[in-house]
Amino acid sequence: MVLVYSEDKDITLELLSKGSELTESLDEELSAVLIGEDDPDQYIRHGADNVFVVKTDQETFKAEEYSDILVELMKEGEDEVLLLGADKNGQELAPRVASKLDTGCVSECTALYVENEDIITERVIYSGKALAVERFDSKPAVVTVPPKLFDPLPEDEERSGELIEKEIEVSPYPSKIVDIKEKESVGVDVESAETIVSCGRGFDNKEDIEIAQELANNFEGNAVGCSRPISADLNWLPEEHWIGLSGHKVKPRLYIAVGISGQIQHIAGIRDSDIILAINKDEDALIFESADYGIVGDLYEVLPKLIEAVKEKKT
């Protein structure tokens, strides 16, 4: 069995898509886990053969207790793989589950497949300079997968599957959640944006970011992003805009990098973009190596012309 779990519905659907490929190669069943209240049928419609609907007295996510729940489910079946989202909760769960099951764990896999009945994973290491290809020699394979790496399978209203209700009692751990505070949001979601205009140190001052916003405004589902110095060093934009290895990983249809040099730590966050357009006055800038299209020029000359051209095209 391949078991899939994330607290986030969208990530679960993405994991099911990858999971269905694995189950085909392994000739196994694909199961999703739902802890708490939600519609379990949606997982069937998106590829699961069955869904474990877990009833628990846990009121909120706690890695210790939730990993016990997953371990309980894993112990029941002859599981080959546990797929978890490489989101905050998944990253807390994966090593705990693997350690409790005395098996291996690979995090942030960018590829996952079966070769000669072995589970093989690939993941980017050294900030994107190398790719580690690893083979599991223990079972089950516990793997985390970053969000937005795989597209969910199309919804199939005709699919049927089994909903298996489980009541799992877990003993409480001594740690307690005393308070949960929502992070203050500035209303920017670069991870879901379809088009991102991203600003780097090539901008002379904070006010000029308006020009990037003006270009972005011409696209549906737009957002303004930035390199780390713009957010972390200069404080010109909040960290919601920050893209890269230590910032957000994005997957837009169009990424426009303006005045960004293209260091590996920035590229690590944008490598899944469909199309990258780079604007830089230095023709030898590294960013051009990762770009599909490049404009060599001063952003203060290029951006107004580009805005004009996009507006003209729209009309």
Ligand X SMILES: Cc1cc2nc3c(=O)[nH]c(=O)nc-3n(C[C@H](O)[C@H](O)[C@H](O)COP(=O)(O)OP(=O)(O)OC[C@H]3O[C@@H](n4cnc5c(N)ncnc54)[C@H](O)[C@@H]3O)c2cc1C
The phi, psi pair for 167, rounded to 5°, reads -110, 115
- Binding ligand X by CB under 6 A: which of 67, 215, 266, 277? 266
- Binding ligand X by CB under 6 A: which of 91, 236, 281, 307? 281
Q: Residue 3 or 278: which CB sits closer to ligand X?
A: 278
Min separation Cβ 112 and ligand X, Å: 24
Site membership for ligand X, residue 289 (CB under 6 A): no
Min separation Cβ 90 and ligand X, Å: 20
Of 18, 46, 30, 10, the closest CA to residue 121 belongs to 18
Q: For CA atoms 267, 254, 112, 89, give the dihedral sign.
A: positive
Residue 144's H or E segment, with its range, is: strand 141-145
Contact between 151 and 17 under an 8 Å Cβ cutoff? The reply is yes
CA distance 143 to 263: 28
- Binding ligand X by CB under 6 A: which of 40, 104, 247, 252? 247
Site membership for ligand X, residue 299 (CB under 6 A): yes
Site membership for ligand X, residue 20 (CB under 6 A): no
Site membership for ligand X, residue 229 (CB under 6 A): yes
Interface pattern 156-195 for ligand X (x via CB under 6 A) = ----------------------------------------
Which range in 67-75, 87-95, 100-108, 244-252 contacts ligand X by CB under 6 A? Answer: 244-252
Cα angle 178, 188, 304 (rounded to 5 degrees) comes to 160
Site membership for ligand X, residue 120 (CB under 6 A): no
Residue nearest to ligand X (CB): 244
The phi, psi pair for 13, rounded to 5°, reads -65, -40
Neighbours of 122 (CB within 10 A): 15
Q: For CA atoms 305, 308, 312, 314, give the dihedral sign.
A: positive
Site membership for ligand X, residue 241 (CB under 6 A): no
Min separation Cβ 228 and ligand X, Å: 3
Q: Residue 50 or 265: which CB sits closer to ligand X?
A: 265
CA distance 266 to 289: 13
- Using CB under 6 A, list all residues that contact ligand X: 200-202, 227-229, 244-247, 259-261, 263, 265-266, 269, 279-282, 285, 298-300
